[in-house]
Amino acid sequence: MFEKILNFLSEDIAIDLGTANSEVYVRGRGIVLQEPSVVAINQKTGQILAVGLEAKKMVGRTPSHIVAIRPLRHGVISDFETTEQMLKYFIEKARRKKIIGPRVIVGVPLGVTEVEKKAVLDAAKSAGAREVFLIEEPMAAAIGARLPVQEPTGHFIVDIGGGTAEVAVISLGGIVLGKSIKVAGDKLNEDIIRFVQEEYKLLIGERMAETVKIAIGSAYPLKERKQFPVRGRNLVTGLPEEILISDEEVRKAMEKSINQIINEIKEALDETPPELLADIMSNGIYLTGGGALLRGLDILIKKETKIPVKIVEDPLTAVVRGAGMVLENLDELREVLIQTKELEPPK
């Protein structure tokens, strides 16, 4: 009864605080918000000027005293205060019922330390949550992909985000094995910046590099040649210049990083217990996160591992949809959450 009243007065929320993008799901309403994990700050006053989409537009375009930062860039909270402000902003923006604080499930990267867990819990509490639960992102993604995670069968998830590429083997509602490397979407952008600088003496920004990656980037040779115009500043003449870059060049630029991700996958397969490996060989490898959309990555992984590869539907929202499904079915799915003291049922 008491629980019902609480639910009537508040809205439970699931959040994927990603290194590149954050998504918010409200119980009963679905995904209500999807914005970049960026905060613009006035360094002179410490004031937050913008969060999310508005702040991303400022990246690389700010006067010197305004900085646009990504507080979760490397997968964990590197800047607690800014993360807290961002979380607050997203929760506030998503909520309609504001009388009682919501219960909040937050997706966190694999292998977060106790200190980082505490930081996320504190941030969510101070953002107004009355109860906070944490879930590992690959677990949430697997649930979002509608995999039967609680059954005694092995599931293999690869989540390639902005800051980290995480690999997890899941069975019986738990993570049997997990790996995380700091080579993912951001690194691929940096690879493209470096390549264009070395080959063409052209200086380009992060957003340009990401545009190129999304427009013509690939992990495996394409059937059709693609080219893309790249604008930047010539480092020799100092003048603006436009060059044409090919899919082959972009692939070459990203090759080393892609191989690091492939090796991470192979290492995880190597460490997977034989029974679960047998399951995975028939169930396949599930690719999620924005990096799953890189052309031909599925083909390359299949070729390198000899295991079928599936791209999760709408890979950018799998984590938040999964966390949302846990919110909707908390009683059945409680075991998939990270066990912290805060997870004990309220007295």
- In angstroms, the CA 65 to CA 55 distance is 14
Q: How far is the CB of 344 from ligand ADP (least distance, A)?
A: 29
> Which x/- pattern, by CB under 5 A, does the window 144-173 give for Mg ion?
-----------------x------------
Choose the one of Mg ion, ligand ADP, none that binds residue 185, judging by a C-beta under 5 to 8 angstroms depending on kind.
Answer: ligand ADP
At its nearest, how many Å lie between ligand ADP and the CB of residue 60? 15
Chain position carrying tokens 């390639």: 160
224: which residues sit within 8 A by CB, 6+ positions away?
none
Whole-number minimum distance, CB 139 to Mg ion, in Å? Answer: 12
Half-sphere exposure (Cβ direction) of 136: Cα atoms closer than 13 Å: 28
* Strand-by-strand arrangement of the 66-69 sheet: 48-51, 39-42, 66-69
Q: Which stretch binds ligand ADP (CB under 6 A): 92-100, 287-295, 304-312, 323-331?
A: 287-295
Site size toward ligand ADP (CB under 6 A) is 19
Per CB under 5 A, the list member of 6, 13, 15, 18 interacting with Mg ion is 18
Q: Which does 85 bind (CB under 5 to 8 A by kind): Mg ion, ligand ADP, none?
A: none
Q: Which residue of this chain has its Cβ atom nearest to Mg ion in the complex? A: 18
Residue 214 engages ligand ADP in binding (rule: CB under 6 A): yes
Residue 310 φ then ψ, to 5°: -120, 140
Q: Which residue has the tokens 């918010």?
A: 24
When binding is defined by CB under 6 A, the residue of 18, 101, 102, 128 that contacts ligand ADP is 18
**Per-residue binding letters, 292-331, with ligand ADP (x by CB under 6 A):** -xx---------------------x---------------
Among 144, 178, 217, 232, binds ligand ADP (CB under 6 A): 217
Q: Decide if 335 contacts 170 (C-beta within 8 A).
A: no
Q: Which of 52, 71, 128, 291 binds ligand ADP (CB under 6 A)?
A: 291
User: Which among 159-167, 223-231, 245-253, 261-269 is the span making contact with ligand ADP, rule CB under 6 A?
Assistant: 159-167
CB 9 within 8 A of CB 99: yes
How is residue 125 written in tokens? 């509490």
Distance CA 40, CA 68 (A): 4
Answer whether 269's CB lies under 8 Å from 305's CB.
yes
Are 181 and 168 in contact, with CB atoms under 8 Å apart? no
Positions touching Mg ion (CB under 5 A) are: 18, 161, 319
